[in-house]
Amino acid sequence: MFATPERALATQKASFEALLAAQNTAFAGFERLVDLNLKVAKATFEEASIKAQEAFALKDGQEALAFASALAQPNAEKALAYSKHVYDIVAGVQNEFAKLGEAQIAEQQRQLSDAIEQLAKNAPAGSESALALLKSSLATATSAYESVNKAAKQAAELAESNLTAAANATFKAAADSKVSRARKAA
């Protein structure tokens, strides 16, 4: 498939660079997840300290009951926000991997097309129909890949918009619930 050792070396170098890019993408996503978890842990410890001090200041059972019920709502909201942040990080990494994969596939398609063109230049007379079939097959495969890729992107966008809508509805419901509890308490 390779006409020269230089082309083979260039292909290997490109593959190695693609591997490094994938590793860097994965590491960057891992780094963002670790950073998020450290921030959440720090905020949780600080809040737990404050809430513990508030709990020690409670005077009776009714205050304790109100205090306990007030703790549940913000924690649910924080868990939902945390999940959204994790989803955003994972989706970003997945998107970067998809871009890297698309670039690799495009490069492989280009190399295959170049190989077919090279074959066509050196092909014996009468092999035109076989070469036309090869070219047609490559075009069909490329078109099929692009169609599947487009459908997958649309499905991912739909899933993300549904997740965002569900998260927004949950946040709105939580805010409405908080407002109605505040009105009842007043």
Separation CA 75–CA 44 (nearest Å): 10
> What confidence score (pLDDT) does residue 24 get?
95
Helical H segments across the chain, by residue range? 5-56, 61-122, 128-185
Could you list the beta-strand ranges (E) of the chain. none
In terms of residues, how long is the chain?
186
- Among candidate residues 20, 171, 16, 22, the one with its CA nearest the CA of residue 98: 22
pTM: predicted TM-score of the whole model, two decimal places: 0.67
State yes or no: pLDDT of 82 exceeds 60: yes
**Share above pLDDT 90 across residues of the chain, in percent, rounded to a whole number:** 22
Separation CA 87–CA 36 (nearest Å): 12
Separation CA 167–CA 162 (nearest Å): 9
State yes or no: pLDDT of 172 exceeds 70: yes
Sorted by where each begins, the domain ranges of the chain are 5-185
Residue 144 CA neighbour count, 13 Å, CB half: 6
> What confidence score (pLDDT) does residue 25 get?
94
Separation CA 54–CA 93 (nearest Å): 41
pLDDT in tens, 120-159: 888 788 888 887 888 888 888 888 888 887 887 788 788 7
> What confidence score (pLDDT) does residue 138 get?
81
